[in-house]
Structure 1
């Protein structure tokens, strides 16, 4: 470790890296800025010296010298929902592997003014591109302007005129869940929906409804939840008191846990009396009692795909590929069973 005159340790600088690698400081600068005109052998020596010394680049200086921040911005909603955290984790891992850092701007609401503020903060920080990880219910001239100025990807099915979409097919997720229950011989399927203002909740509701209608089955009134286990529990208390209920599609695993708890408390057995399917396949789904049948959403892959599309958009600002859709997968576990007096269709 290099030392100051007073004997106090200071962080190693670019000159120290150059000395250890046996090259010039200019060569070190070229390696650290990913300059193409550097021999592989030289690049390897410099990077080895960086690791040996524990050298950390000054991002502000690097941005001034290269005009690039190597930063991806992420707009996300302030929440403790597993799905939000899982997508963000996937983004961070993929960005790090590509040599980028991630700067997150959290918003407490889905109002356009809140999203405008988050986008503006990331743009002011010099983010090279932005991943909009919130459902964009309404857009605005300012949002359109910001997403035109900075390459932007949306990952909740929403978009502006200038954004590219990477999304999980939420309608298919609902179809898989609903059809699974119909195939088990249930006459119809009840639904505990997510909040109406969330696009993914609306798509799941539509997939559930259309699957029932296409099968010629009655469509019960959907029950409203807010993604929380508590809202699932409250709706479970309602469902438990309806004798005809034998199958329920719940719009998230966390709400499904609440539904199952309420059914147990009121003496309705899962799956003997009522089968339950969730969405997400969070880690706890396999370990609840009974283990939860659910539609798995590939959150890590979603985040990685969003980063890959954003980096391509940064490299080719004029390119606008078609929206990318990721297919969910049904994971059958112990919370579903054939209907009483019936069987799989």
Structure 2
């Protein structure tokens, strides 16, 4: 900084004001300083400035897996919106979904310079008896039931599931079978509960749900069972990947979609429109979820205080060719 000041013929304080973007510097002086910086290859030490201010302009993101489509698309949206607001992202992966794995991730936060964190995981792993959040770090949790402990941004899981069931019943199906997500997943449980409630409110029988794990293979195994169930004419799967497996199983058993069985997924992944047939599904706005996560954590950073409560991002049903009225008896 002293070298830049000598070359530009100004004080070190003026160099500091230019590098920090202060407005109270004459334009010609600012240009002199910037020219001297370029000539000397000077770059302000952002780490030193952050330590001085106690502000790092960095958001940590803790998550289990990027293999899940929802996680990767939410992370992409978080990174894009954070960048637009001048924040960098530090990714903190959790190797195993255990208390020790989560504890290790939060411990690493003590070694990193972040102003806030966005947590993409199940809240039951945030055990306050073992996990101590670093002081002054603001938190937003994605898709969780932690609304009374943290700020939460969640897709409206229940309404999305209700839309799927209502659509199928409205086509004339007597009831709707369901392939669930993992039992430990809050999102999966919310979708299953809403499926059940929608059937009960309509006075329809509630078939036993088939457990999946988000993968196409688990959907395929559930689909084999459904294909051998003659009374099954409509299926709601908790995500599109499992719906893909169900479609394969039904095809192999010679049951046409939607002629014999209608299928609805959840997520509206980019490939859903290219399934055979194109998949009717519930659209999740992952970009909106990511944006609201960043807005929430930055708002807490700016205000210097934490928030609680849940923000729901609406879903919408996208009707394609995988659903139709049942065949006449």
TM-score normalised according to structure 2 size:
0.89
Give the Cα–Cα distance (whole angstroms) in 2 for the partners of residues 17 and 89 of structure 1.
Answer: 41
1:190 and 1:221 in contact (8 A); partners too = yes
Task: Say whether residues 1:251 and 2:251 are aligned partners.
Answer: no
Contact 1:94 1:303 in 2 (8 A): yes
Structure-2 residue corresponding to 1:104: 91
Q: How does 1:152-301 map to 2 (within 5 A)?
A: 152-159=139-146, 162-301=149-288
CA contact (8 A) 1:233 1:262 kept: yes
> How many residues in Structure 1 have an aligned counterpart in Structure 2?
328
Q: Show the counterpart of 2:291.
A: 304
* Contact in 2 for aligned 1:191/1:222 (Cα 8 Å): yes
- When residues 31 and 310 of structure 1 are mapped into structure 2, their CA distance, relative to the original with a 3 A threshold, is farther
Change in CA separation of 1:239 and 1:162 when aligned onto 2, cut-off 3 Å: closer
Q: Is the 8 A contact 1:144 1:162 kept in 2?
A: no
Q: How far apart, CA to CA, are the structure 2 residues paired with 1:23 and 1:122?
A: 40
In structure 2, relative to structure 1, the CA distance for the partners of 1:337 and 1:60 (3 Å cut) is same
SS at match of 1:127: coil
Deviation of 1:123 after TM superposition, in Å, equals: 3.6
CA distance 1:283–1:40, shift in 2 (3 Å): farther
Worse overlay, 191-200 or 157-166: 157-166
Separation of aligned partners in 2, 1:31 and 1:131:
32
Say what the alpha-carbon RMSD is for the aligned residues.
Answer: 3.1
Q: CA deviation at 1:318?
A: 2.9
- The alpha carbon displacement at 1:15 in A equals 6.5
Q: Which deviations, in whole Å up to 9, do the C-alpha atoms of 1:196-235 show, x marking residues without a partner?
A: 1000000000010000000000000000000011111111
Give SS of 1:104's match. Answer: strand
Give unpaired runs (5+ residues) of structure 1: 1-12
| Structure 1 pair 24–159 and aligned structure 2 pair: CA distance change class (3 A) | farther
Shift of 1:339: 1.4
Q: CA deviation at 1:129?
A: 0.2
Q: Give the TM-score normalised by the residue count of structure 1.
A: 0.85
Residue 19 of structure 1 and its aligned partner are, at CA, apart by: 6.9
Match of 2:61 in 1: 74
5+ unaligned residues in a row in structure 2: which ranges?
A: none
- Could you tell me which residue of structure 1 aligns to residue 301 of structure 2? 314
1:325 corresponding residue in structure 2:
312
Asked if the contact 2:37/2:43 (under 8 Å) is kept, the reply is no
Change (3 A) 1:33 1:145: farther
